[in-house]
């Protein structure tokens, strides 16, 4: 039997998972991603600093890859150490450039915890009569707003 609040809980879980996929990939890449050295070929100049950089690198099997190098700032023509993501991107610069993405899991887990705590507090509340332990053989107290059987 599906409870009344289950669709809302399922939606919250789906949103939490969706928000945390990219941060989880970043964590995996920076901790266990394959190490490589990439040659930065070009960085686009933007008005507010360096834009995205592209370059080439080789993986452990010796295959050559080309694409965006995340975190490479003003490194045109230089070699930089990178970590290869499971999706194929190259990341350099460590955790410092990704602090906002790392905040997403903290915010979603904290929000879910707060929501569950509030739900429990609100659904456990009520008058003292409903919370009082029943004696053996005593009928349950009537719940307000529900039609009960005699």
d(CA 35, CA 120): 46
The alpha carbon of 130 is separated from its chain's Cα centroid by a whole number of angstroms, namely: 39
pLDDT above 60: residue 30:
yes
pLDDT above 80: residue 41:
yes
pLDDT tens-digit series, residues 81-131: 999 998 888 998 777 777 777 788 888 888 888 888 887 777 765 544 555
pLDDT above 70: residue 12:
yes
Q: Are 70 and 87 in contact (CB under 8 A)?
A: no
| pTM of the predicted protein model | 0.62
Least confident segment among 10-19, 55-64, 119-128: 119-128
Q: How confident is the model at residue 139 (pLDDT cuts 50, 70, 90)?
A: confident
The alpha carbon of 37 is separated from its chain's Cα centroid by a whole number of angstroms, namely: 28
> Domain extents for the chain?
6-119
pLDDT of residue 40: 92
Name residues whose C-beta falls within 8 Å of residue 92's C-beta, 6 or more positions apart in sequence.
38, 69, 70, 71, 72, 80, 81, 82, 83
Q: What is the mean pLDDT of residues 34-54?
A: 81
Q: What separation in angstroms does the CA of 63 have from each of 18, 38, 69, 85, 107?
A: 31, 13, 17, 15, 39
pLDDT above 60: residue 24:
yes
């Amino acid at each position: 039997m599906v409870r009344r609040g289950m669709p809302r809980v399922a939606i919250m879980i789906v949103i939490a998972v969706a928000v945390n996929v990219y941060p989880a990939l970043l964590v995996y890449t920076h901790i266990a991603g394959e190490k490589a050295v990439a040659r930065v070929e070009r960085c686009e100049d933007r008005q507010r600093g360096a834009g995205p950089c592209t370059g080439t690198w080789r993986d452990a099997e010796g295959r050559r890859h080309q694409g965006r190098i995340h975190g490479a700032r003003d490194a045109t023509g230089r070699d930089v150490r990178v970590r290869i993501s499971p999706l194929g991107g190259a990341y350099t610069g460590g955790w410092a450039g990704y602090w906002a993405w790392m905040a997403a899991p903290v915010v979603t887990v904290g929000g879910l915890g707060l929501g569950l705590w509030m739900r429990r507090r609100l659904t456990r509340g009520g008058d003292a009569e409903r919370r009082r332990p029943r004696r053996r053989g005593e009928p349950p107290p009537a719940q307000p707003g529900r039609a009960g059987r005699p």
